[in-house]
Structure 1
Protein backbone atom coordinates (compact mmCIF):
# COMPACT_ATOMS: atom_id res chain seq x y z
CA UNK A 1 0.00 0.00 0.00
CA UNK A 2 1.29 3.44 -0.93
CA UNK A 3 1.36 6.07 1.80
CA UNK A 4 0.19 9.57 0.88
CA UNK A 5 2.19 12.33 2.54
CA UNK A 6 1.31 16.02 2.90
CA UNK A 7 3.39 18.90 4.22
CA UNK A 8 1.72 20.75 7.11
CA UNK A 9 2.72 23.55 9.46
CA UNK A 10 1.71 23.78 13.12
CA UNK A 11 2.09 26.61 15.61
CA UNK A 12 2.03 26.19 19.38
CA UNK A 13 0.72 29.67 20.21
CA UNK A 14 1.72 30.90 23.67
CA UNK A 15 0.41 33.83 25.72
CA UNK A 16 1.03 34.56 29.40
CA UNK A 17 2.42 31.10 30.18
CA UNK A 18 -0.27 29.07 28.41
CA UNK A 19 -0.70 27.43 25.00
CA UNK A 20 -3.87 27.50 22.86
CA UNK A 21 -5.39 24.14 21.85
CA UNK A 22 -8.70 23.10 20.35
CA UNK A 23 -10.50 19.81 19.92
CA UNK A 24 -10.15 19.32 16.17
CA UNK A 25 -13.53 18.64 14.51
CA UNK A 26 -12.25 16.18 11.89
CA UNK A 27 -9.50 14.42 13.86
CA UNK A 28 -11.36 14.34 17.22
CA UNK A 29 -8.25 15.21 19.21
CA UNK A 30 -6.78 18.27 20.94
CA UNK A 31 -4.38 20.14 18.67
CA UNK A 32 -2.76 23.55 18.21
CA UNK A 33 -3.31 25.81 15.17
CA UNK A 34 -2.08 24.50 11.86
CA UNK A 35 -2.83 23.06 8.47
CA UNK A 36 -1.57 22.14 5.04
CA UNK A 37 1.22 24.08 3.33
CA UNK A 38 -0.13 25.48 0.06
CA UNK A 39 1.85 24.96 -3.15
CA UNK A 40 3.04 28.56 -3.25
CA UNK A 41 3.96 28.83 0.46
CA UNK A 42 7.02 28.27 2.55
CA UNK A 43 6.41 26.39 5.84
CA UNK A 44 6.74 29.47 8.07
CA UNK A 45 4.33 31.39 5.82
CA UNK A 46 1.76 28.59 6.14
CA UNK A 47 2.25 28.60 9.91
CA UNK A 48 1.52 32.33 10.09
CA UNK A 49 -1.47 32.09 7.72
CA UNK A 50 -3.03 29.16 9.59
CA UNK A 51 -2.64 30.95 12.92
CA UNK A 52 -4.20 34.13 11.52
CA UNK A 53 -7.15 32.14 10.07
CA UNK A 54 -7.77 29.94 13.12
CA UNK A 55 -7.05 32.38 15.95
CA UNK A 56 -7.62 35.75 14.30
CA UNK A 57 -4.26 37.37 15.08
CA UNK A 58 -0.64 37.38 14.01
CA UNK A 59 2.06 35.77 16.13
CA UNK A 60 5.77 36.35 16.43
CA UNK A 61 7.40 33.07 15.44
CA UNK A 62 10.15 31.87 17.74
CA UNK A 63 12.22 30.36 14.96
CA UNK A 64 15.97 30.43 14.49
CA UNK A 65 17.19 31.64 11.12
CA UNK A 66 20.63 31.02 9.68
CA UNK A 67 22.55 33.77 7.94
CA UNK A 68 23.49 31.66 4.93
CA UNK A 69 22.87 33.52 1.69
CA UNK A 70 24.14 33.58 -1.87
CA UNK A 71 22.90 34.54 -5.31
CA UNK A 72 20.51 31.57 -5.29
CA UNK A 73 20.05 30.78 -1.58
CA UNK A 74 18.46 32.46 1.42
CA UNK A 75 17.79 31.20 4.90
CA UNK A 76 14.23 30.91 6.18
CA UNK A 77 12.86 30.52 9.73
CA UNK A 78 13.45 27.02 11.03
CA UNK A 79 10.83 24.96 12.83
CA UNK A 80 11.46 23.93 16.41
CA UNK A 81 10.52 20.35 15.52
CA UNK A 82 10.03 18.37 12.32
CA UNK A 83 7.66 15.42 12.83
CA UNK A 84 6.19 12.57 10.78
CA UNK A 85 2.61 11.91 11.92
CA UNK A 86 0.43 8.92 11.08
CA UNK A 87 -3.04 10.22 10.24
CA UNK A 88 -4.82 7.25 8.70
CA UNK A 89 -3.80 3.88 10.17
CA UNK A 90 -5.65 0.80 8.92
CA UNK A 91 -6.50 -2.28 11.00
CA UNK A 92 -3.76 -4.14 9.11
CA UNK A 93 -1.23 -1.64 10.50
CA UNK A 94 -0.67 -0.02 7.12
CA UNK A 95 -0.52 3.77 7.15
CA UNK A 96 -2.51 5.38 4.35
CA UNK A 97 -1.82 9.04 5.11
CA UNK A 98 0.93 10.90 6.91
CA UNK A 99 1.71 14.52 7.67
CA UNK A 100 5.24 15.87 7.46
CA UNK A 101 4.85 18.58 10.09
CA UNK A 102 6.92 21.74 10.51
CA UNK A 103 6.31 22.65 14.18
CA UNK A 104 6.77 26.30 15.18
CA UNK A 105 6.33 28.19 18.44
CA UNK A 106 4.55 31.54 18.36
CA UNK A 107 4.27 34.39 20.84
CA UNK A 108 0.71 35.76 20.83
CA UNK A 109 -0.11 39.43 21.35
CA UNK A 110 -3.40 38.53 23.07
CA UNK A 111 -5.57 35.68 24.31
CA UNK A 112 -8.61 37.08 22.51
CA UNK A 113 -9.35 34.44 19.88
CA UNK A 114 -11.43 35.59 16.89
CA UNK A 115 -11.38 32.88 14.18
CA UNK A 116 -11.94 33.69 10.53
CA UNK A 117 -14.96 32.53 8.52
CA UNK A 118 -15.33 28.76 8.32
CA UNK A 119 -12.99 28.09 11.24
CA UNK A 120 -13.92 26.47 14.54
CA UNK A 121 -15.44 29.02 16.94
CA UNK A 122 -13.48 30.73 19.71
CA UNK A 123 -15.36 28.68 22.34
CA UNK A 124 -13.62 25.53 21.01
CA UNK A 125 -10.22 26.89 22.05
CA UNK A 126 -8.71 26.54 25.53
CA UNK A 127 -5.52 28.04 26.99
CA UNK A 128 -3.50 25.37 28.85
CA UNK A 129 -0.73 26.05 31.37
CA UNK A 130 2.06 23.44 31.73
CA UNK A 131 0.31 22.08 34.84
CA UNK A 132 -3.02 21.81 33.02
CA UNK A 133 -1.35 20.00 30.12
CA UNK A 134 0.16 17.48 32.54
CA UNK A 135 -3.11 17.07 34.45
CA UNK A 136 -5.00 16.23 31.24
CA UNK A 137 -2.34 13.97 29.74
CA UNK A 138 -4.85 11.10 29.69
CA UNK A 139 -6.96 12.90 27.06
CA UNK A 140 -4.31 14.95 25.24
CA UNK A 141 -1.85 13.33 22.79
CA UNK A 142 1.53 12.80 24.47
CA UNK A 143 3.36 14.82 21.80
CA UNK A 144 0.94 17.75 22.24
CA UNK A 145 1.60 17.79 26.00
CA UNK A 146 5.39 17.60 25.56
CA UNK A 147 5.67 20.12 22.74
CA UNK A 148 3.12 22.44 24.41
CA UNK A 149 5.21 22.50 27.58
CA UNK A 150 8.40 23.12 25.59
CA UNK A 151 6.74 25.95 23.65
CA UNK A 152 5.56 27.64 26.85
CA UNK A 153 9.05 27.41 28.32
CA UNK A 154 10.72 28.74 25.16
CA UNK A 155 8.32 31.64 24.59
CA UNK A 156 8.11 32.60 28.27
CA UNK A 157 11.91 32.54 28.57
CA UNK A 158 12.52 35.04 25.75
Structure 2
Protein backbone atom coordinates (compact mmCIF):
# COMPACT_ATOMS: atom_id res chain seq x y z
CA UNK A 1 0.00 0.00 0.00
CA UNK A 2 1.39 3.37 -1.03
CA UNK A 3 1.82 5.96 1.72
CA UNK A 4 -0.07 9.21 1.31
CA UNK A 5 1.96 12.42 1.47
CA UNK A 6 1.42 14.25 4.79
CA UNK A 7 2.12 17.99 5.16
CA UNK A 8 2.53 19.62 8.58
CA UNK A 9 0.25 22.65 8.93
CA UNK A 10 -0.76 25.08 11.68
CA UNK A 11 -4.24 26.48 12.29
CA UNK A 12 -5.14 29.42 14.51
CA UNK A 13 -8.51 30.06 16.08
CA UNK A 14 -7.98 33.83 16.42
CA UNK A 15 -10.24 35.57 18.94
CA UNK A 16 -10.96 39.27 19.36
CA UNK A 17 -11.91 41.12 22.57
CA UNK A 18 -15.60 40.31 21.95
CA UNK A 19 -14.85 36.56 22.16
CA UNK A 20 -15.54 36.07 18.46
CA UNK A 21 -13.21 33.96 16.34
CA UNK A 22 -12.02 34.71 12.84
CA UNK A 23 -12.99 32.70 9.78
CA UNK A 24 -11.56 33.45 6.35
CA UNK A 25 -12.89 32.38 2.97
CA UNK A 26 -10.19 30.14 1.47
CA UNK A 27 -10.32 30.78 -2.29
CA UNK A 28 -8.53 27.56 -3.33
CA UNK A 29 -10.61 25.25 -1.11
CA UNK A 30 -13.80 27.25 -1.65
CA UNK A 31 -14.86 27.26 2.01
CA UNK A 32 -14.72 29.15 5.31
CA UNK A 33 -11.83 28.10 7.55
CA UNK A 34 -9.74 29.42 10.43
CA UNK A 35 -6.43 31.06 9.51
CA UNK A 36 -3.46 28.78 8.88
CA UNK A 37 -1.11 27.13 6.46
CA UNK A 38 1.98 25.05 5.84
CA UNK A 39 5.05 25.12 8.03
CA UNK A 40 8.21 26.02 6.15
CA UNK A 41 11.56 24.30 6.59
CA UNK A 42 13.52 25.52 9.65
CA UNK A 43 10.39 27.13 11.12
CA UNK A 44 8.81 26.28 14.48
CA UNK A 45 5.03 25.84 14.69
CA UNK A 46 4.75 29.14 16.60
CA UNK A 47 6.74 30.99 13.92
CA UNK A 48 4.65 29.41 11.15
CA UNK A 49 1.38 30.39 12.82
CA UNK A 50 2.45 34.01 13.45
CA UNK A 51 3.62 34.27 9.82
CA UNK A 52 0.45 32.73 8.34
CA UNK A 53 -1.88 34.93 10.43
CA UNK A 54 0.08 38.04 9.46
CA UNK A 55 0.27 37.12 5.75
CA UNK A 56 -3.40 36.16 5.38
CA UNK A 57 -5.01 38.82 7.60
CA UNK A 58 -2.45 41.47 8.53
CA UNK A 59 -3.17 40.74 12.20
CA UNK A 60 -0.65 40.47 14.99
CA UNK A 61 -1.61 37.80 17.53
CA UNK A 62 -0.58 36.27 20.81
CA UNK A 63 -0.59 32.46 20.81
CA UNK A 64 -2.21 31.18 24.00
CA UNK A 65 -1.13 28.00 25.75
CA UNK A 66 2.58 28.71 26.24
CA UNK A 67 4.22 26.23 28.56
CA UNK A 68 4.86 27.34 32.14
CA UNK A 69 7.71 24.86 32.53
CA UNK A 70 10.95 26.64 33.41
CA UNK A 71 13.79 26.75 30.95
CA UNK A 72 17.14 25.12 31.61
CA UNK A 73 19.87 23.07 30.06
CA UNK A 74 19.93 23.47 26.31
CA UNK A 75 16.27 24.58 25.97
CA UNK A 76 16.07 27.66 23.72
CA UNK A 77 12.39 28.48 24.13
CA UNK A 78 9.08 26.97 25.16
CA UNK A 79 6.48 26.73 22.43
CA UNK A 80 2.72 26.88 22.73
CA UNK A 81 0.93 23.57 23.15
CA UNK A 82 -1.76 22.88 20.53
CA UNK A 83 -5.24 22.43 21.99
CA UNK A 84 -6.03 19.91 19.25
CA UNK A 85 -4.17 17.90 16.58
CA UNK A 86 -5.68 15.94 13.70
CA UNK A 87 -4.95 14.48 10.29
CA UNK A 88 -7.41 15.32 7.52
CA UNK A 89 -7.53 14.76 3.78
CA UNK A 90 -7.15 17.61 1.30
CA UNK A 91 -7.50 15.83 -2.02
CA UNK A 92 -4.37 13.95 -3.09
CA UNK A 93 -2.60 14.27 0.27
CA UNK A 94 -3.20 14.71 4.00
CA UNK A 95 -2.56 17.53 6.45
CA UNK A 96 -1.38 16.92 10.00
CA UNK A 97 -2.76 20.08 11.61
CA UNK A 98 -1.71 21.61 14.92
CA UNK A 99 -4.54 23.80 16.26
CA UNK A 100 -3.91 26.83 18.49
CA UNK A 101 -5.97 29.51 20.20
CA UNK A 102 -4.75 33.06 19.55
CA UNK A 103 -5.74 36.51 20.71
CA UNK A 104 -5.68 39.42 18.23
CA UNK A 105 -3.45 42.30 19.34
CA UNK A 106 -3.54 45.97 18.41
CA UNK A 107 -6.33 47.57 16.42
CA UNK A 108 -7.56 44.29 14.96
CA UNK A 109 -7.78 45.84 11.49
CA UNK A 110 -7.90 43.11 8.82
CA UNK A 111 -5.84 43.41 5.62
CA UNK A 112 -6.61 40.32 3.54
CA UNK A 113 -4.13 38.54 1.27
CA UNK A 114 -6.56 38.73 -1.64
CA UNK A 115 -4.93 36.02 -3.82
CA UNK A 116 -5.70 33.39 -1.17
CA UNK A 117 -8.45 34.93 0.96
CA UNK A 118 -11.86 36.04 -0.36
CA UNK A 119 -13.38 37.47 2.81
CA UNK A 120 -13.57 37.23 6.57
CA UNK A 121 -16.15 36.90 9.34
CA UNK A 122 -15.95 37.18 13.12
CA UNK A 123 -18.11 34.40 14.60
CA UNK A 124 -19.75 34.26 18.03
CA UNK A 125 -20.23 30.95 19.84
CA UNK A 126 -24.02 31.19 19.46
CA UNK A 127 -23.58 31.53 15.66
CA UNK A 128 -21.56 28.32 15.18
CA UNK A 129 -24.49 26.40 13.68
CA UNK A 130 -24.60 28.57 10.56
CA UNK A 131 -24.61 26.47 7.40
CA UNK A 132 -21.44 27.97 5.91
CA UNK A 133 -19.29 26.72 8.81
CA UNK A 134 -17.94 23.19 8.13
CA UNK A 135 -18.81 20.63 10.83
CA UNK A 136 -15.18 19.91 11.74
CA UNK A 137 -14.47 23.66 12.12
CA UNK A 138 -17.56 23.98 14.33
CA UNK A 139 -16.54 21.04 16.55
CA UNK A 140 -12.99 22.32 17.03
CA UNK A 141 -14.27 25.87 17.61
CA UNK A 142 -16.40 24.64 20.53
CA UNK A 143 -13.21 23.40 22.21
CA UNK A 144 -11.39 26.67 21.39
CA UNK A 145 -14.18 28.70 23.00
CA UNK A 146 -13.55 26.82 26.28
CA UNK A 147 -10.09 28.41 26.37
CA UNK A 148 -11.32 32.00 26.10
CA UNK A 149 -14.46 31.84 28.24
User: Given the two structures, how large is their TM-score scaled by the length of structure 1?
Assistant: 0.81
Out of 84, 98, 107, the residue aligned to residue 81 of structure 1 is: 84
Q: 1:38: how far off?
A: 0.3
Q: 1:54: how far off?
A: 1.0
Distance (whole Å) between structure 1 residues aligned to residue 140 and residue 29 of structure 2? 18
Question: Is the contact between residue 61 and residue 104 of structure 1 (CA under 8 Å) also seen in structure 2?
Answer: yes
Corresponding residue of 1:114: 111
Give the 3 Å change call, closer, same or farther, for CA 26–119 of structure 1 in structure 2: closer
Question: Is the contact between residue 24 and residue 30 of structure 1 (CA under 8 Å) also seen in structure 2?
Answer: yes
Aligned residues: 145
Gaps of 5+ in 1: 89-95
Out of 42, 49, 52, the residue aligned to residue 50 of structure 1 is: 52
User: Given the two structures, how large is their TM-score scaled by the length of structure 2?
Assistant: 0.85
CA RMSD of aligned residues (A): 2.0
Gaps of 5+ in 2: none
Distance (whole Å) between structure 2 residues aligned to residue 62 and residue 118 of structure 1? 28
Distance (whole Å) between structure 2 residues aligned to residue 32 and residue 108 of structure 1? 13
